Amino acid sequence: MAAAYLDSNLKHTPHSSAKTHLGPGMERSSGAMERVLKVFHYFESNSEPDTWASIIRHRDATYVWERIELGRCIGEGQFGEVHQGVYMNSENPVLVVAIKTCKNYFKQRQREITSRSFNNASV
């Protein structure tokens, strides 16, 4: 996929007052949201070469972040899973989107937890 949108280095903290509209198969847990990397328009097929890389753009990434609900896994790419989901905004309350997530999220978390336990044990 072409350009990155949600930078994994940015701190995307779900807003505590964000409304939750969970539908079937949707989740809004901090763990799920942390591994979102990019948000795309959802397409049934990639009939055009760049179709799947059509990115949801907004001037403030956090604004987008707070309005995403992660749904079922619809595919897997080189770097991570792709989930279907919804993006809610004032113009189009329920826009179906494709959400690219980081494959190594759980491995990274496991490494962090393991090294934290190790450091604590050696104090």
User: What is the token pair recorded at 2?
Assistant: 């072409």
Q: Which stretch binds ligand ATP (CB under 6 A): 13-21, 59-67, 77-85, 109-117?
A: 77-85
Within 1-123, where are the H helices? 30-34, 61-65, 105-121
Stretch that binds ligand ATP, among 8-16, 23-31, 39-47, 58-66 (CB under 6 A): 39-47
Q: Is 11 annotated as a binding residue?
A: no
Cα dihedral across residues 63, 43, 99, 16: positive or negative: positive
Query: Rule CB under 6 A: is residue 82 a binding residue for ligand ATP?
Result: yes
CA–CA separation, 80 vs 32, rounded Å? 13
Q: Does 42 contact ligand ATP by CB under 6 A? A: yes
Least distance CB 10 / ligand ATP (angstroms):
19
3-state helix, strand, coil in the chain (%, to 5): 25, 25, 50
Q: Does 74 bind ligand ATP (CB under 6 A)?
A: yes
What are the residues binding ligand ATP (CB under 6 A)?
1, 40-43, 52, 74-79, 82, 98, 100
